A and B are shown apart, each in its own frame.
Chain A
């Protein structure tokens, strides 16, 4: 009984911020107040028609798509090397590749800012894409590495003994068996990149900024519930993406929850 209450409180506590934002987004007044004083969709209209948000959304799609697309092959190669190759300094390479997880975003952001300024790329999306690629790489490597570790090397030997040259072995055996890890990698990369704020803030301009940065700028300048409406849309989109992934691919299998055979 007490256990149930505790669990209930915990779940309530965890979902409270989300619930507050969702409820506040329907507030008809121009102040972010809680509880709301009525029901209105005007802030949704504002969020969807605000030009800077539209531009930032396009930037988000481009940056996230490009960084995921770059990080996937790089991360897969890195995971294969880390798990399979008899590397002399495996620990060193592993730490280097996973370091973006522990290095403060401020430091990474500053580093990219200095480099971007040096090469005159401050207004270029390429810097954002490069930064996001670095940031999502550890997640890609981790996801793929789990699949690589679960892959029996004898399967590849079997394929080779049956006459498949290395490239064919990779295409017909290695890659299909890594698929769950690759899907998980893409999912993590997209979630991390879409929500990335700190590093992006350093290397964004008004023209290249992605949604989280645009939302921050908006909140600094205005206090109306547009932000809450946009956040709700964000939450909804993420939910749909996750549900679709689960329906189509089986999320628990991808995330290695429970039995993965």
Chain B
């Protein structure tokens, strides 16, 4: 199978004064996929989107759409659909006029505009509000209107800048599902900016985790979560504990305080080498037994469907554990910790 690259960024750099917003971005968005740019604020994800949209001119590098170099092409000639974080609906036009805007600019005839606008509003399930002004709509409805406006011009690529960030939590989860359904139904190649790891994991086909103007890792949600390439990715996606360790044997290491731990990594370790290990909190087991390490509870946070427990091993190493059923624990309680050998990941 040869997946076709729709959007390609090649060595894109952008600086604002002394701030390097993008320090060399290479990225390909494949036909029909939903690719998330995930990272903390200031990581360059929105700048990347703006470079693709044509709102920001890169200092160096190229932007290609379907192979054609569009780096110098202004935004209005790129034929991309953009949904902004603030939605950016035109307040002086009705919803229908907003959606019709791009069609009018393309010189579509009246009947075609009316039909397309009706179809687009139906697609995003926004009927009966065509004659209202954006200011009269709820946040969720404005979001749908913005999506309809971007989709109605049949853009080659859909660009979404934190499209769900302005919604309250319940609505955000509903819209997340719906956004994915609409994207699937239209089959449109989508580049999506978010700082929310749940959004990125739940929505995307692939995730590009960004940090300090670079892409730290590009992979499927499962790959970036289960095999984070760097410490940054491990920290940013999901909670985790990182342990500095020294290899004792091919399958055993020693962590701070001289504690020996068995590990099962994809490669055999060389005795004496330094390794950085990561363990997800849901893999840390709490309980009694001969194979557990002695620890003290230092913090308990009840979160409804799970409980976060912070523990400190006798050597002073701290670990985060999440457990389904909340045991009646309090700070200072002694507890046993089991670290399964296959729970560890090696990170750079």
Residues on A lying within 8 angstroms of B by beta carbon are 152, 154-155, 157-166, 168-169, 172-173, 176-177, 261
Contacts and interface: CB of A to CB of B under 8 A. Distances in A.
Interface of B: 53-55, 74-82, 84, 86, 88-92, 101-102, 105-106, 135, 149-150, 153, 159
Contacts of B89: 158
A168 to B, nearest CB: 6
The DSSP consensus for interface residues of chain A is helix
Contact of A158 (B82, B92, B135): B82
Contact of A162 (B54, B92, B101): B101
Given A157-B55, A159-B101, A164 B88 contact: no
Nearest to B159: A161
A155 B81 contact: no
19 contacts: A154-B86, A154-B88, A155-B88, A157-B75, A157-B84, A158-B90, A159-B90, A159-B101, A161-B53, A161-B55, A161-B78, A161-B82, A161-B150, A162-B102, A163-B102, A163-B106, A165-B74, A169-B76, A176-B92
A53 to B, nearest CB: 43
Given A159-B101, A164-B76, 11 more contacts: A157-B55, A157-B75, A157-B84, A157-B88, A158-B82, A158-B84, A160-B55, A160-B75, A160-B76, A162-B102, A168-B105
Contacts, number: 67
A66 B51 CA distance: 44
A172 B98 CA distance: 11
Contacts of A161: 53-55, 75-76, 78, 80-82, 150, 159
Given A168-B105, A261-B135, A162 B149 contact: yes
Given A163-B102, A163-B105, A163-B106, A177 B82 contact: no
Contacts of B106: 163
A176 B92 CA distance: 7
A261 B106 CA distance: 31
Nearest to A155: B88
Contacts of B77: 163
